[in-house]
A = this chain, B = another copy of it.
Amino acid sequence: MKRVLLTVAYDGTSYHGFQIQKNAPTIAGELLRAIRDLTGCDAELLGGSRTDAGVHAFSNKTAFDTDSPIEADKFAYALNARLPEDIRVTASREVPGDFHPLRVPSRKTYEYRILNTEFPDPVSRLHTVHVHVPLDDARMDEASKYLLGEHDFASFCSAGSQVESTVRTIHEIGVSKEPLRDRSGRMRRDGKRSPSGLLIIRVTGNGFLYNMVRIIAGTLMEVGRGAMEPEEVLAVLEAHDRDKAGPTAPPQGLFLVRYEFTDIGNPLEKGAPF
């Protein structure tokens, strides 16, 4: 018996999230089907970030036990041959039999991507959220810094969450704007930043509450369009009241880009597609 840790990338568009559900396609459901096809045995997934329907991942992590003679690092290739194209196992490695993803300290990094342009873009429509109102990324970045550190993030947690504590630590957070390469081939003559661009909210923490990143994104977008002042984010945080924060931003802009276990090194060293 060995325990295998998988790094999984997926396009969440066609799935009802990571967590297995009856009668609905899920990432976990596809992984378990592929493991059964490959090993002939049912398995159970240990951990795995429970991304919502429509949310994407470049690097989710989940583990399973198997008696298969297949070498742990060969599972990535063998499972990919049995998975749909919108799910790829980008790394597989053996971990100690007592390793459980949910019982070790970890750091996750999420990105929320906002296409801030006059017209929506058909090509990226399922992997960004389109906002046509100009957003001020500098104001959003300033506002985001109030969330750094350890806080009670109750204002940024959707109802229905069962967690004991709403205290989490955000290690890094910031908002950047990537001026979009003019798809028609023309850069602005004056060399100035294009008024439109791809805004990326990037946040790293030791754990996140239900919808926490999407509520942070919805709140920072309020600041970006001028409906809130950056310093108001501090009042929202201190209110411990979900109703004080902005709306929950749509799922398709959210990506789990990094998931590390801080005590076993980074299983991502090899294999990640990017």
Contact B11 A258 (CB under 8 A): no
The majority secondary structure among interface residues of chain A is: loop
Stretch in A94-102, A146-154, A176-184, A224-232 with 4+ CB within 8 Å of B: A176-184
Stretch in A67-75, A117-125, A161-169, A214-222 with 4+ CB within 8 Å of B: A117-125
Q: How far is the CB of A53 from chain B (nearest CB, A)?
A: 15
Q: How far is the CB of A74 from chain B (nearest CB, A)?
A: 14
Number of identical protomers:
2
Partner of A9, one of B10, B121, B182, B258: B121
Q: Please tell me if A191 contacts chain B, counting CB pairs below 8 Å.
A: no
Q: Please tell me if A44 contacts chain B, counting CB pairs below 8 Å.
A: no
Residues of chain B with a CB closer than 8 A to A123's CB: 9, 11, 56, 58, 127, 255
Residues of chain B with a CB closer than 8 A to A87's CB: 122
Q: A10-B122, A122-B10 are in contact. Are A274 and B88 (CB under 8 A)?
A: no
Closest 3 CB pairs of A and B: A183-B274, A58-B183, A185-B258
